[in-house]
Amino acid sequence: MVKKGLLFGIIISIIVVGVILVYFTSSVETANTDVRLHGTISTTMGSPIIGSPSAPITIVEFGDYQCHQCYNWFHNTKPSIFQNYVDIGKVNLVFVDLAFLGRDSPKAAQASYCAEDQGKYWEYHNQLYISQESKIDNGWANSERLKSFAFSLGLDSELFDSCLDSGKYAKRVQTNIAEAKKFGVSGTPTFFIIGPNGQQEKLVGAQPFSVFTQVLDSMI
């Protein structure tokens, strides 16, 4: 009888401790997760904001590091947008992963968040688009290369490698893909331009600077 009582007590104690632990853990997660919305799009799991956080217009880019059209946009259109809008505080930009083009795409996206842990998200993001090669999954974005990019940017290799190998940000990338699906994104790059009054314009593809100018100027 006493043994049964003891066993019952132990089980109850384990359950209570378990409940407390779960509650504590979820409280910590909730406390650390600030919901960030741009228009109706949740960019909480996306990149840090580049440009003035108080800029009236936000460009949300859904992209893949192995996507050629994203590469084209990065090299041909983005510099002009930065020069004319982002650098002078009119626009900011958030990148959200739609990593689907090959087996190395999700890993590359995860690597960018491992770089963010060390405060170098955008440097790493740029490095990926500068280093992109024409063939998908030919090894240019495999784990070894991703680690070498981190090394060349002066990141702490040990920290970066353990972050990448552990798959720490796998879920974050999946969440971003789910967000893209939710908003009907059908290809990369896709842009949502969110204006000061919450108006939202969708641009599909690596469209030229002239199109962005027209949309952005109509919102300012």
Partner 1 sequence: MTHSLKIVFSNYSYVVLASVIFITMLFGLLVLSEYIFLEPYIIGHISPGMELGFTLIVILTTLSAVVIPMNIYRINILKKSKRKVTGSVFGSFVGSIAGVCSCGPIGFTVFSTFGSVGATGLAFLTNYELPIRIAAIALLAVAYFTTVKSLKIECKII
Binding site for partner 1 (CB under 8 A): 64, 66-70, 72, 76, 98, 100-102, 134-138, 180-181, 185-189, 201-208, 210-211, 214-215
Within 10 Å of residue 212's Cβ, how many Cβ atoms? 23
Type of residue found at 133? E
Residue 87 beta carbon to partner 1: minimum distance, rounded to whole angstroms: 22
Q: What are the C-alpha distances in Å from 152 to residues 79, 97, 131, 149?
A: 23, 23, 12, 5
For partner 1, give the closer residue by CB, 56 or 205: 205
Residue 178 beta carbon to partner 1: minimum distance, rounded to whole angstroms: 11
CA distance 182 to 204: 15
Residue 76 beta carbon to partner 1: minimum distance, rounded to whole angstroms: 5
Q: Which H/E stretch holds residue 200?
A: strand 200-204
For partner 1, give the closer residue by CB, 50 or 204: 204
CA distance 120 to 10: 48
Among the listed residues 49, 61, 42, 72, the one whose alpha carbon sits nearest the alpha carbon of residue 190: 61
Residue 118 beta carbon to partner 1: minimum distance, rounded to whole angstroms: 28
For partner 1, give the closer residue by CB, 85 or 160: 85
For partner 1, give the closer residue by CB, 171 or 202: 202
